[in-house]
Each structure stands twice: as structure tokens, then as C-alpha cells.
Structure 1
Amino acid sequence: MKINSSLSLALWGLFSLLFFFSTPSHQDSDSLPPHPNPRLLGAFIALQAWKHVITSDPKGFTLNWDGPDVCSYEGVYCAPAPDDPYDTTVAGIDLNHADIAGSLPEELGLLADLALFHINSNRFCGTLPYSFRNLHLLYELDVSNNIFSGPFPSVIFCLPSLKFLDIRFNEFEGDVPSSLFDLKLDALFINNNKFNLSLPENLGNSTISVVVLANNNFNGCLPSSFLKMAGTLKEIILVNVGLTGCLPPEIGMLKDVTVFDVSFNMLVGTLPESIGGMKNLEQLNVAHNKLSGQIPARICSLPKLENFTYSYNYFCREPAICLKPPCKDDRVNCIPDRPLQRYEGVYCAPAPDDPDDTTVAGIDLNHADIAGSLPEELGLLADLALFHINSNRFCGTLPYSFRKLHLLYELDVSNNIFSGPFPSVIFCLPSLKFLDIRFNEFEGDVPSSLFDLKLDALFINNNKFNLSLPENLGNSTISVVVLANNNFNGCLPSSFAKMAGTLKEIILVNVGLTGCLPPEIGMLKDVTVFDVSFNMLVGTLPESIGGLKNLEELNVAHNKFSGQIPASICSLPKLENFTYSYNYFSREPAICLKPPGKDDRVNCIPDRPLQRSANECAAFYSHPVDCRAVGCSAQRSPPPQRRPPPSYHYP
């Protein structure tokens, strides 16, 4: 604020008179300024007014703030006036870390030539004086780490020379005017207040080289316009400001940025590959967000990168080169084979309906030996695709809330202690392809509609189920089916041959099968494993099995098969194991002796070791079975019409 010359002289005279009467008589007369200086007079008035409102000065910074020589005051710096090098003025105030308590009086507006005002790390409160609008030369304003409050200090917009603004760590609150980013600042620190703001589109208008907005409630996304700051921006820190959305791919245009910190926000999506083009980047922190996908290898290859923190996200892949930086932090993600990742056995991935969002996609607690039950709240895992908890001690039933898991693809609860009827909630899982509930205590009927589901694999063995294999078995799209060790009874319906297009493995061990194997079995051209051991099957082995060119494992042991082993079966090109022990076969072609995995014990085959007795075989053959006559429900015939052929030689 300018003071006219006559008023200045009058004030100076009054000041001199007051000073004369308040000075001890022994003071030298030359202690007063030789010539009146209106600038220093205004400074004296301002600083004395300020001292008057200081309530605590534990370090004694203002003890020497007495007398007219303001240039000797602690923390007050003088210099030639900018418009008159022969005049002296107060150019700067630096009371940083003084621990002074008080407020800022309006009289500070008298410091019209002030270029620097630093009072950080004190206990000043209140607001910035409106008289600061007179500080047209103020270049640096630092009032950080105090107790200032109220709305954003609008007087800042009246400071045309301002380049450095630091109001962080105060109690300011409310909206931040978007016009702040139209100011021609070099550095802006407004972090750790209580401001609200959605980062405006004019963010890119700023000439800032360093901007710290952290720990405020800004919300919204990072506008792509901020890339217009590429010519000046060196450091940007947006920690904990409520950022949402994705990082724009244009971020790579910030070629001169050395520090980029957007940690503790709600950012989603992947890290833009373009960050790998920020050749001057030294510090990159994206921790505590919801970012996912793979860490781009280009980022980890940046030549100046010293610290890269991406912990507490949902990244699922990490190139080997990213393990090299000494200050890398990848904790609490979803990266396989890395320590300290998210919940053990919980796997995250981009949401199927929104790749920019992250969700729990899988749970794998196999072989954990955990005891407990499954709560209904598991139905909240609406995006779950994989649920594997085999080899534990879970009990009870499957929660009815599982009906909400419309994306569940694999369900494996095998080898636990689940009980009760067949879990009907399975029929509410439209995406289910893999079902494994074996080795539990389930019991009762198996709904025939199970075979209408579009499953790829079905394991319900080793429970206490009842079922007669239904005609709609052939409707199934299963490639692997294991029904073993249940009480199914009945015969194998010929309709199962309709599974020829998908079936690879079928295991029906000890399920109470009766009747004959249907000749249509030869249509299962892609089957590799066929096991119907430990049943009550009768009749001969269908010759058509010799057409199963992909068959590797064939087990028909522990049944009541009879007749000759078809040579075409033993000639199958991929057959590795053929077990037909504990039956009543009577003839075995020489070629069947070649497979290393063949087992023909306990049959009625002449000249082979470890066969049944002649009497046992004769008794069996006295009641022959004619599968052509009785089909699926084959019964033993009345007393024999003929004896076994004379060529049979029983041991």
C-alpha cells in the first residue's frame, strides 16, 4: 500500500518523537535512521502490530522486535527497494519452525514490497488477512503446517507476482476455485486440508512444475487435459484425493515428470503402457488402488526409476524385470508365486462386465485341512468363477445362496464331510462346467436332470447316492464322468452312446451295474479311459470295443463276464492297461498276452495261471447268458441246454 509523502513525514515525525522519549538517555543520537523511510516506517507499524497478537513465542524469535531498526529483527530480511535501489525495504519474512502461536493482523498489508513470506511449522490460526491483496510483489507464500482455517483464501487471486504457494497442513475447507489452475504458479502445495474439488478441465492450463494436492476430498477422475502441462510439470502428488476411473493413456506425454504419485485412491484398470515412455521418471507410486492386469515391463525398464511402489492393488502378472529395482514394492496383489499377496487362496481379476473394475474371481483352499462350514454370505461373491476347497474338513451343506453365483464355472468341494441330499443348488448355476462333490457323505437320490446340465466334468463318486442310470444319460455333454462307489444299480443304457462327441473318460466302479454292456459302446471313439470294474455285469465283451482307437485304460475286472476276449481289443494301438481279472472269460487270443498292463487272473482261461477252479467255471457256464435275447435286463437262463465246449481245459 502506497503512503503519500506528507503523511509519511508526519508518521515518521511521530514515530521519531515516540522513539526519543522511550529511549534511555545514554542511547547515541545516531541510532535513529538519518533520513525518514516511509517503507521501513510501514514495516515497523506492521511488525509491531503482529508482535502484539503473538500469544506464544517459546523460542524467542521476536525478542528483538523492538525499536525502529526492523532490518535487525529476527526473521526479517531487508533489501534495496525494487523501484529505488537507494531505498531500503522489508523484502522477506522467514519464521519457519519457530513454534509461534498467534494470528496475522491486517497491518501486514503495509509490507508492500514483501517478496517472501515464510511462516511454516508454527501455530498461527485464523485466516490470511485481506490486506495481503496489497502485496503485489509477493513471490513466495508459505503458511504451511499451521492452524489456519476457513474457506480457500481468495486473497491469493490478488497476488499477481505469486509463483510459490504452500498452504498445506492446515484446516482450510470447502471448495477449491477452479481458477486456481489459471494462475501462473511454479509450485502449488494445498495438501492435507479439508478441501473439496473435482479436478477441473482447466487443470491443464496451469504452468506448475510441482503440484501436491494430497489428502483432500477431490473425487472424480484425472482429466486428460492435465497432459497440457507436459511442458512444465516435474512432480505431481495426488495421494488420497478420491481419484476414480482409469489413468488416461496420454499420461506418457509427461516426458519431464520425475515424481508421479497417485497412491491411496480408487483408480481401476491397468497401468497405461505409455508410462514406459516417461524417461525422466524417478519415483512412481500407484499403491493402494484397484489397479489390475499386468505390470508393463517398459515401466520397470525406465532408466532413472529409483522407486516403484504398486502394493495393495490387484495386479496379477509381474514381468521378471520388475523384480530387479531395489525399491520395488509388490506386496498385497494377486501375483502368483510372490510373497505377501492378498488373502491366501483368494484370486482377483478384472470384472467380467467391467474390465476396469476388480473382483474376486476364484477361491482355492485345496488341501488346507480346514474345518468348518460354508456360510450363506458366500453368495455375495457374485463374480466367483472358481471355488475349490477339496481335502478339508468342511461339513454341512452347500449354501442356498450359491444360486447367486451365476458365473461359477468350477465347483470342487470333494474330500470333505458334506452331507444331506444331493445339493439341488447346483441346478441354479448356469455357467457350471466342472462339478466335483466326491468323497463326502451326500446320500439319497441323484436327480436324473443332472445329466441334462451342460457339464464338462462330473465327479460324484464315493458318496451314498442311489440312482438307476437314466435314459437321458446320453444328453450329457460330459467329457469326464466318475460315478464310482455309489448304489446306482441297473444297466448302462444304450443312450449313453450319444455322448460319443464329448466323452473321454467314464468310471463306473462299484455302482451296482447289471446286465450286459451294449454293443453301441463302440461308438465312443474318443474315450481314453473306460472302467466298469466291481459290478455285476454279465455276457461277453462287445466286439465293438475294438473300435475305440483312443482307448488307453480298460478295466472290466470283478464282474461276471464270460466268453472270449475279442482280439480286436488287445490290438488297440494306444491300449496301455487292460484288466479283466475276476470274471469268467474262457478264451484269450495270443495277442492279449502281449500288453504289459494286462491282468487275466481268476477267470476260466485254459493253460493260464491263477484261474478259477474247473468246478466253479462249469457251474457258471451251466447257466449261460444271451444278451441278444434279454438285453439290458439280462437274467440267468434256466438249467443249461449244453455243456461248455470240450476244448475248455480248466486247471
Structure 2
Amino acid sequence: MLNTFENAETFHHRRLERERHMANMDIFSNVIQHDDEAAILSVVDALSGFPLAKKEEVTTIATKERNHFRLYTVCSATAVLLIIVSILSAWGGMNKEEKAIATELVNPSASRDLNPRFQRIFSLILDWGFTPRSQLEIETSASRKALNWLVEVDTDTFEAEDIRARYALASLYFGTQNVSDGFVWTRSMHWLSEFPVCLWYGVYCHDDEWIRVDRVGGLNLSSNGLVGHLPEELGLLGLDIHSLDVSNNFITGKIPTSIGLMKNLRHLYLGSNLLTGTLPKSIAQINILQRLFIEDCLLTGTIPTEMAYLQDLQAIGLHENAFTGTIPGRLNQLSQLVVLYLDGNSLIGTLPPFPTSLVDLRLRQNMLSGSIPSQLGLLNLLQTCYLDTNCFVGTIPEEFANLRFLQELHLYNNYLTGSVPSLFQFQYLRILYLDGNHLGGTLSPQLGLMQSIESLFIFDNLINGSLPASFVLLTDLEQLVAHTNALSGVIPEDLGNLSKLKVLKLQENHLTGSVPPSLGALPLTELQLHWNQIEESDASAAVPAIDCSQ
């Protein structure tokens, strides 16, 4: 410590000596301008160190040399030369430590780069291969900020594996917030602190006795105000991490391809962000991935057929993006797949075969075409099926009768024809949406066997005939919407026994007769019967919100 102080003091004295040379130079310039010969001699003596010349000789010289500009130029050059010689002499006499001190005064970052810890971590990062050298050389980059933090603040971390994990997390931290613009994480307890990463908010570590407890096993930063890009350095978490959740943030840019190196990842949640680009094929390298949700983003391109390699996949959620192309037929090979959400994209083509393990299938709001394949009737575990808002044609397959666990069926806004199948004898069906098609024919009395039905939407079709009397068996029915058809006959009196019915819309049909008085006892919140041939009656006064005059 003493030697360092003495070296610094020596450097300080030498710098003062150079400053005195500069001061003498300024004095010399001033005396020349005032033509003071005695002062000139004094300054020359101070600069050169030689004795004063005789006054007579100086007088003669001064008389012969009156060109102030030339004299000023020559003396200035002499003074500058003396200063340069002085600096070089001082530098040559310094030892390594003195030179380091001098360098730090001029360029602090250069001194930091000479730090042995800096050199070691810098080399480690380059060896890992996730961060290009060019990024580390940019002081404002997230990678360089993470490096500087490890060197200057996190000085107690020595093992390469610990440095690896902390560098990956620090890169994520610096890369997904913008403090200058006010974008900071909602919760960041213990991040970039001296605490083990297992205590950082959202970081979960392994509790397996065979794995070091400070290895990152999971990361959950959902709904935490993250902005910016996900760094490639996330791949440094490698084989340790099992779950990654950064959903519901404001993350932009592409999905890092390094995610494919997380070989033991089981759950990946990146949805509800502003991610762009395509779905990286490297995801297919995560052989044991079980849940993949990247919904509600701005992803484009096609769905990679390589996803068929993920034999352990149980749930795929790629809905609400801008994917194009067809649904890969090889998805049928995913024998463990239970959930498939591809709705809200721009997918085209016909429906391929699907694995019989499916329980929840959602393909709504695409541009899928062709007929609905009868193969869907083989999905005997299916509970939810959304095929609405596409371009399907043809009839509803009779094989749907085999879907005995079906709870929701959405087929609305297509171009389906034929009649409403009489095979909807589903014990658990709660919601049936068939509206906005070209269905015709009459309603089968067997529809009354759907005793769990809560919402029946069959409006905007070509259905004729009367309302089946068997509808009285639909005791859980809350919404019956059958307007804009060609229904005729009278409104069944027994509809008044549907004690849970809240919405009844039968307008724009050919119904006749009068309004059943029993409807007045229902908990109706909406009743539409206009544009029919229903007669006015005293009983209709007890029924709310009826307009039969249109």
C-alpha cells in the first residue's frame, strides 16, 4: 500500500514539473510581446539552465532579431519539445504500477480491462460462445454491463459454473429493462445482489440431493414489466433449467435460438409478449418438453414439422399469432398431446388427422377449408372442440355422436349444410354453437336428450318446422337463441318450465299463436319475439321486454 502511495506521489510531482514548464512558456510569450530584453534573458535561463549571457551581447542579439513572430514560434517549439522529452523521461522511469495509475487517470475502462478477474471472465464468456466479442466491447450493451457487474461488484464469485449462471441472469436483467425511459421490473428483490441466485425473485433452484442446490431449476418472471429482447445468453442455463416463464410482459425481438440448448426444459411459457419472427426449429431439440405456450404474440411463418420430434409434448399453445401454411400432419405422431391451440392465425388447408389423446382442440378463426373429417369422431376423449370462423363446408359428421365426453362444440360461422344431426345425445355437452351456417331441415326431438346443455345457439340458419316439445327436458338451459330461421308453429307452453332460462331469442321466424303465460315466471333478462306472426294477448303483458309489433 505504501509503495502504491509513493508511486502515485512521484507521478504527481512529475506532472507538476511539466505544468511549470508550460507556465514558463506562457511567461516567455508575454515578455517577448513587451520587448523586455532582461526578462527574455531570465526566461531563457530558466528554460535552458545555462548562465545568463552578458547584457551587451543580448542587446546586440535583441537588436538584430526583432521579428517577434519568428522568435515566438521558435521558442514555442523549443518549449513543446522540452515538455515532450520530460513526459517520455517520466514515463520511461515509471514501473508497471505507476503506468497503471497513469492509464487509469486517462482512461478508467482501460485499467479495468487489465484486471486479471476481468481477463478471466472475459475469456470464459468468449469460450462459452453465446456472446460475440463485438457485444462485449460495447459499454452500453447488456452483455458488457453483465460482465462489468461480475468484475466490479460480484467479486466473491469464483467458480466458472456460478459465474456462468450469474452472467446469464445478469444479461437477462440488463437486457429486459430500460431505466432511462422508466421501464423497470415490477419485482426484482435480491437481483444483482451478493445473495445466491436461488434467493433472487422468480428464480427456483433444484432440491434434488444429487444436484447442487444453487443450480437454477426454474425461472418465473411473468407479469413483471420486462421490455427489450431475450438474450441468447439464456442458453447458458443449459441442462439445469426445467421451467421458463416470461409470459405477459412487453418483450420484443425474436425468440433466441439458444433455448434449444435447454435440453431438460419441460415447461416453456413466452406468451402475451411482442415477440416477432418465426418459431425457431431449435425448440425441437428439447426432447422432453411437455408444455409449449407462445400465444398472443406477433410470430409469423409456418409451424415447424420438426415439432413432431417432441414426443413428450402434452400441450401446444400457439394461438393468436400470424402463422401461415397448413397444420403439420406429423402432429398426429404426438401420442401424449392433450391440448392443441392454433386458433387466431392464418392457417389454410384441410384438417389433418389428430392424435386420439386430444382433450381440447381449438382451431377457430383461421382460413381452414374442406369438410370436417369424420376422423374427429375417433377422438373419444375430446371435451372441447372449436372449429368456428373458418371456411368448412359439407355436413356435420355423424361420427360426432361418439364424442361422449364432449362439453363444448363451436361450429359457428362456417358454410355447413344439411340438418342439425339427431345424434347429439351428449351427456356432458354444455355449449353448442351452430349459428351462422346454412343448416336446414327440422330440429330432432332427440335434442331434448342433451340434459346438460346450457347454451344452444342455432340462429342465422335455414331451420324450419316447430320447436320440439322435448326442449322441456333441457332443465339446465340458460340461453336459447334460434332467431333468423324459418321456424313455424307456436311457442311451446312448457318452455315456461325451464326455470334457468335467461335469454330467449326467437325473432325473425314464422311463429304464430300467442305468448305462453308461463314465460312470465322465468328469470328472463332478454326476450326477443319480434318479426313473427304472434298475436297480442293479455298474457303478454306479464312477460317483460316483448315486442311483437314489428
Structure 2 partner of 1:306: 430
Distance 1:133 1:59, change over 3 A: closer
Alignment of 1:147-162 (within 5 A): 147-162=274-289
Alignment of 1:113-132 (within 5 A): 113-132=240-259
Contact 1:40 1:70 (C-alpha < 8 Å) held by counterparts: no
SS of structure 2 residue aligned to 1:245:
strand
For the pair 1:135 / 2:262, whether they are aligned, the reply is yes
After TM superposition, give the deviation of residue 203 of structure 1 in Å. 3.1
Structure 2 partner of 1:188: 316
Contact 2:461 2:484 (C-alpha < 8 Å) held by counterparts: no
2:347 maps to a residue whose letter is F
Contact 2:303 2:327 (C-alpha < 8 Å) held by counterparts: no
Q: Distance in 2 between matches of 1:118 and 1:289?
A: 36
Structure 2 partner of 1:420: none
Q: Distance in 2 between matches of 1:341 and 1:240?
A: 23
Alignment of 1:285-364 (within 5 A): 285-299=410-424, 301-316=425-440, 317-322=442-447, 325-336=453-464, 337=466
Q: Distance in 1 between matches of 2:257 and 2:446?
A: 55
Pairing partner for 2:220 from 70, 79, 94: 94
After TM superposition, give the deviation of residue 11 of structure 1 in Å. 6.8
After TM superposition, give the deviation of residue 99 of structure 1 in Å. 2.9
Alignment of 1:216-235 (within 5 A): 216-223=345-352, 225-226=353-354, 229-230=355-356, 232-235=357-360
Q: Tell me the TM-score normalised to structure 1 length.
A: 0.46
Structure 1 partner of 2:162: 40
Structure 2 partner of 1:249: 374
SS of structure 2 residue aligned to 1:188:
strand
Q: For 1:489-521, what per-residue CA distance to the aligned partner results, in whole angstroms no more than 9, with x for missing partners?
A: xxxxxxxxxxxxxxxxxxxxxxxxxxxxxxxxx
Distance 1:47 1:81, change over 3 A: farther
Q: Distance in 1 between matches of 2:307 and 2:152?
A: 49
After TM superposition, give the deviation of residue 218 of structure 1 in Å. 1.3
Q: Distance in 2 between matches of 1:96 and 1:103?
A: 15
1:281 maps to a residue whose letter is L
After TM superposition, give the deviation of residue 255 of structure 1 in Å. 0.8
SS of structure 1 residue aligned to 2:241:
coil
Contact 1:9 1:38 (C-alpha < 8 Å) held by counterparts: no
- Give me the CA root mean square deviation: 3.5
Contact 1:96 1:122 (C-alpha < 8 Å) held by counterparts: yes
Q: Distance in 1 between matches of 2:208 and 2:214?
A: 5
Q: Distance in 1 between matches of 2:303 and 2:149?
A: 46
Q: For 1:55-89, what per-residue CA distance to the aligned partner results, in whole angstroms no more than 9, with x for missing partners?
A: 2655522253122421111111111469x334431
Q: For 1:216-246, what per-residue CA distance to the aligned partner results, in whole angstroms no more than 9, with x for missing partners?
A: 11111112x32xx11x211111111212111
Q: Distance in 2 between matches of 1:190 and 1:17?
A: 38
After TM superposition, give the deviation of residue 32 of structure 1 in Å. 5.9
1:263 maps to a residue whose letter is D
After TM superposition, give the deviation of residue 168 of structure 1 in Å. 1.0
Q: Distance in 2 between matches of 1:147 and 1:16?
A: 27
After TM superposition, give the deviation of residue 104 of structure 1 in Å. 0.6
Q: Distance in 1 between matches of 2:172 and 2:427?
A: 51
SS of structure 1 residue aligned to 2:439:
strand
Q: Distance in 2 between matches of 1:345 and 1:280?
A: 32
After TM superposition, give the deviation of residue 213 of structure 1 in Å. 0.5
After TM superposition, give the deviation of residue 183 of structure 1 in Å. 2.5
Q: Greater relative contact order: 1 or 2 (C-alpha under 8 angstroms, separation 6 or more)?
A: 2
Contact 1:102 1:124 (C-alpha < 8 Å) held by counterparts: yes
Q: Tell me the TM-score normalised to structure 2 length.
A: 0.54
After TM superposition, give the deviation of residue 194 of structure 1 in Å. 0.8
Pairing partner for 2:172 from 47, 50, 58: 50
1:251 maps to a residue whose letter is L
Contact 2:303 2:328 (C-alpha < 8 Å) held by counterparts: no
Pairing partner for 1:270 from 395, 398, 405: 395
Q: For 1:269-314, what per-residue CA distance to the aligned partner results, in whole angstroms no more than 9, with x for missing partners?
A: 1111111111111121111111122222322x21121222212122
The gaps in structure 2 that reach 5 residues or longer are 1-119, 126-145, 468-479, 489-507, 511-550
After TM superposition, give the deviation of residue 106 of structure 1 in Å. 1.4
SS of structure 2 residue aligned to 1:147:
coil
After TM superposition, give the deviation of residue 191 of structure 1 in Å. 1.0
Contact 1:322 1:328 (C-alpha < 8 Å) held by counterparts: no
- Kindly, what percent of the aligned residue pairs are identical? 23
Q: Distance in 2 between matches of 1:291 and 1:10?
A: 64
Alignment of 1:8-47 (within 5 A): 22=153, 38-47=160-169
Q: Distance in 1 between matches of 2:302 and 2:227?
A: 27
1:220 maps to a residue whose letter is G
Q: Distance in 1 between matches of 2:481 and 2:432?
A: 17
SS of structure 1 residue aligned to 2:350:
coil
Which protein has the bigger strand share?
Answer: 1
Distance 1:108 1:283, change over 3 A: same
2:414 maps to a residue whose letter is N
Contact 1:40 1:90 (C-alpha < 8 Å) held by counterparts: no
Distance 1:251 1:206, change over 3 A: same
Pairing partner for 1:144 from 245, 252, 271: 271
Contact 1:297 1:321 (C-alpha < 8 Å) held by counterparts: yes
Q: Distance in 2 between matches of 1:44 and 1:147?
A: 26
After TM superposition, give the deviation of residue 165 of structure 1 in Å. 0.8
Q: Distance in 2 between matches of 1:101 and 1:284?
A: 38
Structure 1 partner of 2:493: none
Q: Distance in 2 between matches of 1:125 and 1:248?
A: 38
Contact 1:263 1:289 (C-alpha < 8 Å) held by counterparts: yes
Structure 2 partner of 1:212: 341
Q: For 1:126-165, what per-residue CA distance to the aligned partner results, in whole angstroms no more than 9, with x for missing partners?
A: 1111222321111111100100001222221222221211
Q: For 1:404-463, what per-residue CA distance to the aligned partner results, in whole angstroms no more than 9, with x for missing partners?
A: xxxxxxxxxxxxxxxxxxxxxxxxxxxxxxxxxxxxxxxxxxxxxxxxxxxxxxxxxxxx
SS of structure 2 residue aligned to 1:102:
strand
The gaps in structure 1 that reach 5 residues or longer are 1-6, 24-30, 348-362, 366-651
Q: Distance in 2 between matches of 1:17 and 1:220?
A: 52
Instruction: Work out which of the two has the higher radius of gyration on C-alpha atoms and give 1 or 2.
Output: 1
Pairing partner for 1:103 from 203, 207, 229: 229
Structure 1 partner of 2:515: none
Distance 1:345 1:156, change over 3 A: same
- Counting matched residue pairs gives 330
SS of structure 2 residue aligned to 1:243:
strand
Which protein has the bigger helix share?
Answer: 2
After TM superposition, give the deviation of residue 103 of structure 1 in Å. 1.1
